[in-house]
Structure 1
Amino acid sequence: MNSFVVPAASYEAQNAYRRLQLTMEKDDPRMAILEIRTFLKMYPDLALACNDLGVLYAQTGEKLLALACYEKANRLQPATPVIVKNLAEFYFVELGWTDDAILMLTELLKSHPDDTDLLALLGTISGKIGREQEARTFFRRVLELEPGNRDASVALRQLEGAIPAAEFSAQPVRPAAPPVPPPVQAAPVQPVAPPAATAAPAGSPLDDILARLRSTIATAEAVVRPASPAQPTAGMSAEQRYREAQTAVANGDADRAVTLLEQLVAETPVSPLAHNDLGILYTNAGRLDLAVNHHELAVRQAPDNPLFAKNLAALYYSLCGRTDEAIAIYTRLVKEYPTDVEVLTALAIISNNNNLKEQARVFISRVLDFEPWNADARQFLAEL
């Protein structure tokens, strides 16, 4: 939290904000959230209250709500150090938007060159992305301004050489900023045409993205072959069964495809692609219990496959009402694949459907950064 008070429009607002800060010092963040939300109904434009609400939401794991509050605070009171630092750190830690975070922080540094928290955060980010020279520069500057800064001293020594394991063991060290893993860039999986079109759910013009996610089969090996008569399945290899299943899908024979794939996973349980396809076929048939089971198995067996994860998240959100689990998957994916337009679009849709307009704008604007020609995204943004 912070103790910085922005002058409000009235004496009552200032007093209310002071009481709000006292509430935030308590050990019950959920009670503090209720107090701040009540406060913001009366004084909706107090930026630091929005920022503090974002901090509390982040502490309780409500990441999308935290982002909405940070974005609103930054819009209401731009260039405020504590607000910019919180938003930039969220971009880097939760979303993997490294360039955006660095751009925001370095711009802020121009007007606040002696802000040691800002310098330490830039040092931490630089170190995590492999820019060790820059990290050393930032931490050295912190120590010039605060020679006794223990966190910066430890961070600098870690960059310049290993610290003995026993050193500083008597007192735990709080890092200058939370440790963050580097964003993972993975080669995108090329999708193959879906076996059958799924009607887009009613709502925003981009809701069909979620439907397409549900019906996407991802494989570079599956080839749709010309129609052929049904063949006996005895003695088939796993590869032959899968190809036959694809042929059955192309011929509109979903029942045969399901039979072949069920035989395949019975004989070869670790078959994430087959489980994913079964999830899609069972979704199209309305068998949601089986669909969820097979999509979960696909993700469990191939956790690094983004399309399997997207299919499961879309199913959770669109048909199962398991919004929190869908959001958890999408936020993990957007951190690992920050340029994935489908993930960004799904997060924009979920945010909008939950009346979180601020972060819906963030995500759909991000889509337009990567696809400026995307007419649906432009219409979505205009409607927001």
Structure 2
Amino acid sequence: MNSIVVSESLSQEEGALYDRLSASVQGMPKQEAILKVKEFLVTFPSFALAHNDLGVLYHQSGNPTLALAHYEKAARLQPDNTLLRKNLADFYAVELGWIEDAVDIYLEVVKRNPRDIEALIALGQLGTAMAGSGRLDTSSAHFQVEMTTPAFSLPPETPQKSEEELYQDAQKSISQGDLAAAREQLELLAARYPGNALYQNDLGVIRYKSGDCQAAQRHYEDAHRLQPDNSIFARNLADLYFAELNMIDEAIHIYLELLHNQPRDVETLINIGHICSSVGRPDEAKSFYRRALEIEPWNTDARQALAGLQQTVQQQPLTQPVKSVDELITEARALMPQGEYLAARNLLEQAIAQNPYNAVAHNDLGVVAYSMGDVGAAQVAYEQAVKLDPANNNFRKNLADLYFVAVGRPDDAIYIYLHLFRQNPRDIEILSALGQICQAVGRPDEARSFYRRALEVEPWNCEVREMLQR
């Protein structure tokens, strides 16, 4: 089986420790090496490459049961890693005689990379075995090499390469159009450094170029999870959501976060404009294009997109004017004090249909739904309002109150109110709400503390004073 490649330039703690471990067990008796790797896995149980190499050691020590367990564990931890998948397939075929299981794995490999010569050769040999005796000829070159590679070392003729050298090789392969080689090099890096967001992002790029959007999504999401502040990784994921997966809400959410952090980012403004245009919101699209042109008046992409929208509007026949989102919200608010909740809800749903990203409409819909006794709909609406406008304290208060009063989630309510308290330590409403929640969940000392703080701000507040005296 293929074993690890020792790296000397390290960027993550797990990779650094495993590199030193790999060097220390060179030439060590197998049982001692097994103990060392097992000790490493106690601290880093999800390090896929260590499981792979422990499988190698167990296999060479004559313990196929434990070898199988660790090969399968490695493949589960990194299901997109071709190297680990091939090792498992080879073990299935050579040691266990599970030809069909090995074929299934190699078919997955070839599906992702139809030009993987090694996988194609293995499939040919496996197919011959299935058509003949049902046993694999382990004397063939592919399986002979795979099964005799010693653990924790490269074949003697292959020089060890540092992390930087491996990454340079991957970049060179990409520039030469050899995506299969680049993917294998990056998968090796990703296996050794699972916390490196750059390798996950680059694997996403390669998967996307190869037409495997689902694998690209996994890698882009991993990159964004590992490094959420990286605008390039976030933009790659948002572009994939919008352009290929039709995940419009997820894409717009990422772009709005990018815009919040970089309000003058022209590319983000244009992309949001494109999304708005595609979902039938031309006025908002034009607004984003105009903002982009205010920053870069020479930007031809924004100018052409804006001109195209204006030309489309001019060509459309005149129709009866439709009420704007603001008009619908205003009308709904006028109906709510009169108890006309059903009519108000209908107007707010129309507003959200026109603009699903209007946080005010979602918040007001939550108010109406709760007034009608529809707690589930109210929770969905309040959570969406907070998601769209997390800086709005009123939206967060509404959600916290709902969690506490109607949903039975006091811990979530306290979490929201404590966050609000840190931002507004003299807000009477927040202090009072925290006191009431703490009192309700059996934490009277904390409740009294919040009531006293409220009275320090407003000594005349009779309601708070009464709650403190209870």
Instruction: State if a TM-score over 0.5 links the two structures.
Output: no
Give the structure with the higher percent helix.
2
Q: Calculate the TM-score normalised by the size of structure 2.
A: 0.31
Bigger Rg over Cα: 2
